[in-house]
Structure 1
């Protein structure tokens, strides 16, 4: 029988809360009534847009075992005996996160990086779940509330914990890695993401290097050997409590090294060596960046003492999540077109990776590669140039047509041959009709842009207009 996630006594010990008589234990934790499950403890977090206290009654009606509310708002719910009253709800969630970390015997992995955090986290979760009960961050829960919520949700029986940690300013990772206290910390790469908030890429490398400060004494730092800021990241690891530094990449000095990466339309194959031992494996999704990040999963798994043969086998089951490379076959007339959904977010590195994946798609005669691209945000004064520079990747990967949304993408449009530009508009919504009308049987279409550009509107419209053929299921495994 599985023990409760939290008892009222444990919550009182962790937070000093005043707890109503109607609450005894919780089976889960939530901050969102839309996804709340019966038995969840609801945290009434105050966000930038909504105050969770506005949804307390809805949470209790939906089956929350109790609601964590702040002292000043508690009188509004005086009729309920299922309240956990605290001075500050977010701080209470942090306190419970620290308590959950203190009580677990799980081996913990923390992952950060400018690109590939979520995909690497998912690959790590998949690999370790074959070897023990594994708890991992949901979606991209990697910030000041996502990390403590993930900790608070961690079952005490977990064998492994996998945490994604993000940032867009310096010193954001520092308190989060201090809560997680990983046994293994991974940096996938350092790229010009959120560069608007940093004086240089050195600053981003330093911010990512903060993850090593939380390492348990004797823990392992895993670093991308190919990255230009490798030495900077290694210096952070050497200054931490790490007992070991492992490197991955294609560099001849990497501990876990890829000698050959073959990217197919819907999968990748990697020939690698791990401390000189050969290993060949298949990954169930396409992309050189995904193949390279799989090396970091092998490195972290090695540090944890996991069976690397089982880890490598698990990669074959890896599938891209919605918005991060999900592939769908659209039924158009008597034929089909491939839709690659990369709409979740974008930065220069991930944009180039998406274009490379589109370039790797094998097409029939007369078919086209079409890129539907939205602005990449938070690039500061380098934004116009970084957008214009994508013209090189467009050309190198044989992209035939480009639809562009946003003022920054105008720089790319101006840098491209006129024949390659299908349309430019200020918003993704303004492109929907043009994109839907342009697709022909045999085409391959990638949609990508920063989250605020709402490129998912185009993905949604394509799926609604053309549906998904049976081949989509076969392609996705």
Structure 2
């Protein structure tokens, strides 16, 4: 197997000194994720220093280390490991002929990244590299780049931010040939004066576009003009959306409880005109919009739209982002919609709308566990209380709200439905044990730091213990 990096390559890319020859087939900075043949990058963080875990990394099978301090084992020694990781990322970018796609947005960026990777993977099997998990920050993006094999034909990179200027740096590192903004909403607004500031920060992704690059933006978003301004230097611009005037538009779509059917029209002066009818394996209007962003990205990248449509039909079971689980409840089962990874006002409203579109079987009911939305700043109470109409419209009979910030929503709902307020995910699980019945549909949604993923995992584990077959809806 061709190595991802040799010690000599790493030293050349980083300006470091290799103590021995070794070959690395992967890269990681988390000693808990080290696998046989990996390069372990010993980063110094605010609370710990990766050099302390060098021995553990080698014991786990690391082929070599990237270090800036005295440790034992095969290594490349550099002055600063964070800077060296960025240098390795730049070298990976420059040695590969891959077309690079950058994806950002207040909502939808991970789902669009995953869907793009699957769509392009049908077009170029085995030759698509993509960020794993949500490695989208100042450390995760260079790690994702450094992991890109030289033979890759496409690279898909998720980029996040919570302050102005961060995407400028990440885009300069990736130098995307195609850059996508999925949507702009109030996520991370505590660090901005207003939502327009978030739009300008998201638009920074276009600043690093390579010559001849394509900017893709949401036509229906209120901040589309600001994004267009940010993308003014792009060689080509493609808009997507549900409204008239979008270059990639859903002419018709039908929402179903577990999927959507879409007929899309694509018109662009340089790319021509196409039509495609397809199914999206994820539910909700927001996933229709995400699918259009994926089609725009595939179109701009020169991929196959028909194959992209097949990939979108098969898209499902994204943990924390809409995966559906059948879990054991008494002598029956309930459906859990796992949206536990993240939450902001826009994504919370979208998930509640999906819950409202599902008709429970038998005597089942709709329920929801809603965790606090973080990083909303002084307007946090306003944003949380503002979810009340969406909760009522969802048809949920029982709502369990988690975290101090959710007191505002509980107060706004008043006596309109049964609301239980708890402090944490563990208490929420106890409430669910009392409330959940066979045939119920349960939405679990909240910011990742609330820890509702553990609640979903606990419920899913009971499926196995009760002897029910696993899998998703």
When the two structures are superposed, what TM-score results if normalisation uses the length of structure 1?
0.94
2:415 corresponds to which residue?
418
Distance 1:430 1:24 in 2: 49
2:96 maps to 1:104: yes
Query: Does the 8 A contact of 2:463 with 2:470 survive in 1?
Result: no
Deviation at 1:187, TM superposition (A): 0.2
1:279 CA displacement: 1.5
CA contact (8 A) 2:40 2:66 kept: yes
Q: Work out whether 1:353 is the aligned partner of 2:347.
A: no
Counterpart for residue 390 of structure 1: 387
Query: Conserved in 1, the CA contact under 8 Å of 2:326 and 2:463?
Result: no
Which stretch of structure 1 is more off in the superposition, 332-341 or 146-155?
A: 332-341
Which residue, 60, 63, 66 being the options, matches 2:64? 66
Shift of 1:212: 0.4
How far residue 110 of structure 1 moved from its aligned partner, in angstroms, is: 0.3
The one-character-per-residue Cα deviations of 1:320-366 (angstroms, maximum 9, x if unpaired) are 32111111111222321101111111110111111111111122353
- For residues 428 and 257 of structure 1, the distance between their equivalents in structure 2, rounded to whole angstroms, comes to 40
Q: Does 1:135 align with 2:134?
A: no
Deviation at 1:399, TM superposition (A): 1.6
1:92 corresponds to? 84
Whole-angstrom distance in 2 between the partners of 1:322 and 1:281 = 23
Contact 2:115 2:315 in 1 (8 A): yes
On the 8 A contact 2:328/2:468 being kept in 1, the answer is no
- Asked if the contact 1:330/1:469 (under 8 Å) is kept, the reply is no
Given the alignment of the two structures, is residue 402 of structure 1 paired with residue 395 of structure 2, yes or no? Answer: no
Aligned to 2:309: 312
Match among 50, 53, 59 for residue 52 of structure 1: 50
Return the alpha-carbon distance in structure 2 between the equivalents of residues 185 and 40 of structure 1: 30
Alignment of 1:166 with 2:160, yes or no, is: yes
TM-score for both structures, normalised by structure 2:
0.95
**Counterpart in the other structure of 1:273:** 265
| 2:255 paired with 1:263 | yes
Q: Determine if contact 1:67/1:83 at 8 Å carries over to the other structure.
A: yes
Aligned pair 1:303/2:300, yes or no?
yes
Match 1:362 to one of 359, 363, 369: 359
Residue equivalent to 1:20:
19
- Give distance in 2, aligned partners of 1:19 and 1:431: 52
1:392-437 Cα shifts (integer Å, max 9, x gaps): 0011221211001112111111111425234111222222211112
Q: Which residue of 2 aligns with 1:232?
A: 226
Contact 2:43–2:81 (Cα < 8 Å) also in 1: yes
Q: Cα 1:471–1:60, aligned 2, differ >3 Å: closer, same or farther?
A: closer
Cα distance per residue 1:198-228 (max 9 Å; x no partner): 0011110110000001101111000000000
The equivalent of 2:141 in structure 1 is 147
The alignment status of 1:194 with 2:188, answered yes or no, reads yes
Q: Does 1:36 align with 2:28?
A: no
Tell me if structure 2 keeps the 8 A contact 1:413–1:421: no
Q: Distance in 1 between matches of 2:467 and 2:211?
A: 52
Secondary structure of the residue aligned to 1:306 is coil
Aligned length: 465
Partners in 1 of 2:275 and 2:155 — Cα distance? 28
- Cα distance between partner residues in 2 of 1:159 and 1:185: 17
**Please, which runs of 5 or more residues in structure 2 have no aligned partner?**
268-272
**Matched residues in 2 for 1:267 and 1:471: separation?**
22
The answer as to whether partners of 1:436 and 1:462 remain within 8 angstroms in 2 is no
Aligned to 2:270: none
Rounded to whole Å, the distance in 1 between the matches of 2:331 and 2:67 is 57
Q: Distance in 1 between matches of 2:318 and 2:46?
A: 27
Deviation at 1:265, TM superposition (A): 2.3
Runs of 5+ consecutive residues of structure 1 not aligned to the other structure: none
1:263 Cα deviation (Å)? Answer: 2.3
- Tell whether 2:250 aligns with 1:251: no
Q: Which residue of structure 2 lines up, in the alignment, with residue 8 of structure 1?
A: 7
My pick for the range that moved more, 94-103 or 254-263, is 254-263
What SS class does the counterpart of residue 265 from structure 1 fall into?
coil
